[in-house]
Amino acid sequence: MEQTSHDRLYVERTLAIIKPDAIHNAEDIEDVILASGFIILQKRKLQLSPEQCSDFYADQYGKVFFPSLTAFMSSGPIIAMTLACDNAIDYWKSIIGPVNSTKARETDPNSLRAKYGCNDLKNALHGSESFQAAVEEIKFMFPNSIIEPFPSRDATEEYLSRYVNPVLLRGLTELCKDKPLNPCIWLADWLIKNNPNRPKISDGVIVEEEE
């Protein structure tokens, strides 16, 4: 599924899984995730049944390795996480490295699969392949989650610059002039009274301000 320019205004999400063979290294792996700039939005530890694994890897059904894959993924606990950052899907895939851990140690020795994986089956970690796969996989692991986009850093900075900073600057200027005994409470009250999105009341009638 190709992303539109609208999608790129928002921070991307991907599903990460620490597989049974790397579960004992979960703390170290999470440290790498956080140090790489990801936000962990959701996390849960669980053990999938063979049937659940079959459903999760339904796109691999019929391939020679499918029985071994479902048996391995249901052999012990896993940790599923929703990660977020700019370009999260491709960035996470670059951090975990090639699918085959043996090849990863040759071509990408600093990757997580090179460090924690054993082979092409027991390769320590999972990452979503595409935007659509990420949406479906996050829903699978976190069925009660509501996947709503949230603004990227640039979009957030633009919003703050346009709508928040001017009001805050006025409030801080008035604060310096007034020099109240309790500046925090004074500023909070001032912001409530001067909220530009607050409807104005005229003769008992609420008047919505036009943008």
Task: Give how far Cα 69 sits from Cα of 41, 73, 121, Å.
Answer: 27, 6, 7
One-letter identity of residue 196: P
Q: Is 24 a catalytic residue?
A: no
For the purposes of burial, counting CB atoms within 10 Å of the CB of 133, is it exposed (0-12), middle (13-18) or buried (19 or more)? middle
Tokens of 25: 């290294």
Count of CA atoms in the C-beta half-sphere (13 A) of 81? 24
DSSP H or E stretch at residue 24: none
Among 85, 126, 138, 141, the active-site one is: 126
* Strand 12-18 relative to strand 78-85, pairing: antiparallel
One-letter identity of residue 135: V
For the purposes of burial, counting CB atoms within 10 Å of the CB of 51, is it exposed (0-12), middle (13-18) or buried (19 or more)? exposed
What whole-number distance in Å separates Cα of residue 51 and Cα of residue 105? 32
Q: Which of the residues are catalytic?
A: 126
